[in-house]
């Protein structure tokens, strides 16, 4: 049955709308891809004893999708295989039921788990090089990855070496008004909140706690200008690192999730793999 539009109090397509009863109705729901049981046989060639680790946060406007969906299961399996990396895929509480900063708190807690569990988790203990950790994400997940790195830097890094930050079609606001942000982050600093718009805070950008950053944008993405703005602001901030840009022509926002088999999706994945495998410089390690 279709919803009665007179009973909708807030509407944020393509993410969710809110009924007068408080019921949250999402436009897009995700499936659930459980972990493989039993696990796959050991890969051939085997995973190296000390391999980079990619700490990946999914996108979805802070309010949809999951680390357990087939969309991200497929993407990160491909990324792990091609980059010969170990991947920790971060799930987090979704807005609006869990307003911001819930997503940031959950991501940071997962990062601390990565460090705290490293002696006991066999995959991390046997294969992960915690001196080469890449924080990555797409869309809102890229925003969360950036903010997780900023907080980790401010709290000393707790022994993790942050080798790079990978931002795919990052969400850093859409301009002078952002209704979604105002709704899911009540009491925030508005559109210039440093979590939403770090480019308005040069000192924050200058203290980014890694040595390399890759920013991926798409020509027809409505967020393209914000990705380019992040790139320019980081270069001009006095940050002591190397920032790289990769743009895909003719494509919209997160096209690689919508059509993962297209040639441009393969090229984007290849560029991310090259970034992971081409550098080991670590700026922040405590």
User: 5 is in which domain, residue-wise?
Assistant: 1-30
pLDDT over 70 percentage in the chain:
89
pLDDT over 90 percentage in the chain:
73
CATH code (residue 205): 3.40.50.1820
What is the arrangement of strands in the sheet containing 242-248, beginning at the earlier edge strand? 86-90, 51-57, 128-138, 162-168, 212-218, 242-248
Same domain, 158 and 206: yes
CB hemisphere CA count around 116 (13 angstroms): 6
Three-state DSSP state, 231: helix
Using CA atoms, how far apart are residues 227 and 117, in angstroms rounded to an integer? Answer: 33
- Beta-bridge mates of residue 162: 133, 284
User: What are the tens digits of pLDDT across the range 87-130?
Assistant: 999 999 999 999 999 999 999 999 999 888 766 788 888 889 99
- Out of 69, 85, 89, 139, pick the active-site residue: 139
Residue 176 has a pLDDT of: 66
**Token pair of 1 as six digits:** 């049955």
> Which carries the bigger pLDDT value, residue 281 or residue 156?
156
Same domain, 199 and 159: yes
User: Exposed e or buried b for every residue in 99-136, given b needs 16+ CB within 10 A?
Assistant: bbebbbebbbebbeebbeebeeeeebeebbbbbbbbbb
Three-state DSSP state, 158: helix
221: annotated active-site residue: yes
With CA atoms as reference, report the closest residue to 128 among 149, 152, 111, 153.
Answer: 111
Three-state DSSP state, 120: coil
Residue 283, domain member (yes or no): no
Residue 145, domain member (yes or no): yes
Work out the pLDDT band at 72, boundaries 50, 70, 90.
Answer: very high
Residue 6 has a pLDDT of: 62
Q: Please check whether residue 240 is in contact with residue 208, taking contact to mean a CB–CB distance below 8 angstroms.
A: no
Instruction: Give me Rg for the CA atoms of the chain.
Output: 19
**Token pair of 77 as six digits:** 């399996």
Same domain, 103 and 235: yes
Same domain, 197 and 147: yes
Residue 282 has a pLDDT of: 45
Three-state DSSP state, 164: strand
Residue 64 has a pLDDT of: 97
- Out of 58, 146, 253, 256, pick the active-site residue: 253
Q: How many domains does the chain have?
A: 2
- Beta-bridge mates of residue 246: 216
pLDDT mean over 269-276: 97
Contacts of 5 (CB under 8 A, 6+ apart): none
**Token pair of 256 as six digits:** 């690689």
For residue 216, pLDDT beyond 50: yes
253: annotated active-site residue: yes
Residue 77, domain member (yes or no): yes
pLDDT mean over 231-244: 94
Tell me which of 16-20, 206-210, 258-262, 269-273 is least confident: 206-210
Residue 178 has a pLDDT of: 86
Full-model pTM:
0.91
Same domain, 23 and 68: no
CB hemisphere CA count around 210 (13 angstroms): 29
Same domain, 112 and 224: yes
- Out of 106, 138, 193, 221, pick the active-site residue: 221
Work out the pLDDT band at 191, boundaries 50, 70, 90.
Answer: confident
118: annotated active-site residue: no
Q: Which helix (H) or strand (E) holds 149?
A: helix 140-154
User: What are the tens digits of pLDDT across the range 118-175?
Assistant: 667 888 888 899 999 999 999 999 999 999 999 998 888 778 999 999 999 999 998 7
pLDDT mean over 249-259: 97
Same domain, 107 and 6: no
With CA atoms as reference, report the closest residue to 133 among 56, 244, 195, 235.
Answer: 56
Residue 200, domain member (yes or no): yes
Using CA atoms, how far apart are residues 278 and 212, in angstroms rounded to an integer? Answer: 11
């Amino acid at each position: 049955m279709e919803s009665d539009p007179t009973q909708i109090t807030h509407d944020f397509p393509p993410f969710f709308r809110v009924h007068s009863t408080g019921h949250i109705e999402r436009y897009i729901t995700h499936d659930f891809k459980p972990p493989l049981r039993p696990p796959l046989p050991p890969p051939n060639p085997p995973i190296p004893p000390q391999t980079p680790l990619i700490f990946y946060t999914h996108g979805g406007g802070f309010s949809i999708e999951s680390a357990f969906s087939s969309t991200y299961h497929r993407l990160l399996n491909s990324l792990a295989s091609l980059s010969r990396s170990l991947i920790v895929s971060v799930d987090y509480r979704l807005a609006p039921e869990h307003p911001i900063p819930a997503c940031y708190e959950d991501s940071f807690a997962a990062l601390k788990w990565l460090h705290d569990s490293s002696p006991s988790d066999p995959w991390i203990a046997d294969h992960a090089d915690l001196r080469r950790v890449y924080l990555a994400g797409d869309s809102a997940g890229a925003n969360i990855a950036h903010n997780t790195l900023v907080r980790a830097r401010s709290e000393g890094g707790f022994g993790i070496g942050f080798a790079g930050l990978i931002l795919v079609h990052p969400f850093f606001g859409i301009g002078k008004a952002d209704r979604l942000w105002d709704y899911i982050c009540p009491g925030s600093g508005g559109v210039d909140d440093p979590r939403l718009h770090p480019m308005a805070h040069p000192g924050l950008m200058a203290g980014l706690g890694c040595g390399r950053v890759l920013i991926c944008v798409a020509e027809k993405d409505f967020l393209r200008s914000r990705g380019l703005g992040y790139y320019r602001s980081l270069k001009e901030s006095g940050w002591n690192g190397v920032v790289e840009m990769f743009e895909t022509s003719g494509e919209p926002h997160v096209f690689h999730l919508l059509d993962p088999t297209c040639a441009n999706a393969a090229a984007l994945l290849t560029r991310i793999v090259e970034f992971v495998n081409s550098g080991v410089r670590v700026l922040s390690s405590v």
